[in-house]
Amino acid sequence: MFADDTKVFRQIQTTDDSDVLQTDLSHLESWSNTWLLRFHPDKCKVLTTGKQHDNNHKYNLCNTTLEHVDKEKDIGVTIDNKLNFEQHMNEKINKANSIMGLIRRTFTCLNEEMFLLLYKALARPNLEYANAIWSPFKVKDITALENVQRRATKLIPTLKDLEYEQRLKKLKLPTLKYRQMRGDMIEAYKLTSGIYDDALPNLLTYNTTSATRGHNKKLTIQRCNKNIRSNFFTQRIAPIWNSLPSSVVNAPTVQTF
């Protein structure tokens, strides 16, 4: 909970669950009145995800019926009711392209050093912030993100006639897909090494079968019925993480890892 960001959530399977969630909201309102930290009901929204929709249920806070929405921005990430994050990716692609357009209009001549400084500081962070949450798995989304970097590297006059792979090699830039995988592995290392707060729920399931080969922090690869679930963070990282050498997964620091 942050000063301007409070979330209350519950799995809704029956109308009784909706009533319990309303009770939670009422308790929250009572708490806010006691501590004089009032909520602004017009800024509070209801977002339902999954197949068990309860969009017909009216939730109330501070004598106001809360609005049901299809998407909501949460600490810089747009969460949609289908959890496919296409809205978020489109927003970030447009923003990164706009920044590169501004750079093109501002700098009449870009050399490699100037481009790298500007691109890494202003454009690429938009395509990578919190991507452990929304990392794309559809080919069209992966291609759309990569196209931002593909077009951006053409802004350098001395490289614009080269193939994309050659431009990356000259600039010593990895693909965005590789950096997403790298980011996943860094997050996996932090989770398995206890770097995050111990109070966080344990998201990972370890493979404790003694017959398995490899390192001592292997993760269980769970079966999934849906593509969207199989590409969820805890599912997609397991095969790559399990293939890493023991000396890597047991590195003493993030920098060493």
pLDDT of residue 37: 85
The average pLDDT across 93-113 equals 94
Percent of the chain with pLDDT over 90: 67
pLDDT of residue 126: 95
pLDDT tens for each residue of 5-25 = 788 999 998 889 999 999 999
Q: HSE (CB half, 13 Å, CA atoms) of 197? A: 3
Report the alpha-carbon distance of residue 173 to residue 196 in Å, rounded.
Answer: 29
Query: What are the strands, taking DSSP E only, across the chain?
Result: 45-47, 60-61, 64-65, 67-69, 71-74, 77-80
Give CA separation, 156 vs 119, 125, 165, in Å. 11, 20, 14
Report the alpha-carbon distance of residue 61 to residue 76 in Å, rounded.
Answer: 25
Tokens 């068990």 locate to: 52
Give CA separation, 251 vs 168, 173, 202, 209, 241, in Å. 29, 25, 20, 23, 13
Residue type, 95: K
Count of Cβ atoms closer than 10 Å to residue 166 Cβ: 12
Give CA separation, 138 vs 37, 84, 124, 213, in Å. 43, 10, 20, 31
pLDDT tens for each residue of 73-93 = 988 999 999 888 999 999 999
Does 1 score more than 60 pLDDT?
Answer: no
pLDDT tens for each residue of 132-149 = 999 999 999 999 999 999
Count of Cβ atoms closer than 10 Å to residue 182 Cβ: 12
Report the alpha-carbon distance of residue 132 to residue 212 in Å, rounded.
Answer: 27
- Give exposure, 7-38, as e/b (b: 16+ Cβ within 10 Å): eeeeebeeeeebeebbeebeebbeeeeeeeee
Q: Where are the domains of the chain?
A: 15-69, 86-173, 180-249
Does 212 score more than 90 pLDDT?
Answer: no
Percent of the chain with pLDDT over 70: 94
Query: What are the strands, taking DSSP E only, across 9-82?
Result: 45-47, 60-61, 64-65, 67-69, 71-74, 77-80
For residue 69, the cross-strand partners are 47
DSSP 71-90: EEEETTEEEETTS--HHHHH
Report the alpha-carbon distance of residue 83 to residue 71 in Å, rounded.
Answer: 9
